[in-house]
Amino acid sequence: MSVLDEHNAAASLSQFDREQRGLRLRVLNAEEEARQRVEQLAQQELQFAERFQQTEQLLAELKLRERELTQANQSLASLIAQAGCSTLSPPGRFTVERREIAYAERASGPLLATTFVPTPAPENSALDPRRPALDEDAVRDEPQGEVPRIVPAVRASGAT
């Protein structure tokens, strides 16, 4: 082998060694990136598991509160039925009676007392318990019952 051939062979071997070292470095870098990504995914998985557990706990608590609320609503409906009303009336569904109470010793004017008398829900209204539930828009568009009426009081010489 000539000197030139030996020099070319050495250069080729040296080039091969550099390429091999470069490939090893790329492999090592790729392994390090993969390890970091696996650690990151493992951390995200732990965070997801914690959030999932918290969500499950909140859901269980919500279901418990829903059951309690349902029981309270049933108790309330029972009390309303015992009181003789078909339903509780929301604001605006009360008959208002105003009575002036005159006190002879009070010259500043009459005192007003307001009595709220629940009105029964009209037949076939959104509040009728026999009627199936409607969506909110339909309930909102339904008439709101009796208009509050003001009953004038009779002024008496003493307390009425």
What pLDDT digit, counting tens, does each position of 104-145 carry? 444 444 444 444 445 555 555 555 555 555 455 554 555 555
What does the domain layout of the chain look like in residue ranges?
1-84, 86-160
Range in 2-6, 103-107, 145-149 with the lowest mean pLDDT = 103-107
Indicate the average pLDDT of the chain.
70
Distance CA 45, CA 131 (A): 49
For 120-141, letters b (16+ CB in 10 Å) and e give ebeeebbbeeeeeeeeeeeeee
Residue % of the chain over a pLDDT of 70: 49
The pLDDT confidence band at residue 78, using thresholds 50, 70 and 90, is confident
Distance CA 87, CA 73 (A): 11
| Contact predicate 100/155, CB 8 Å | yes
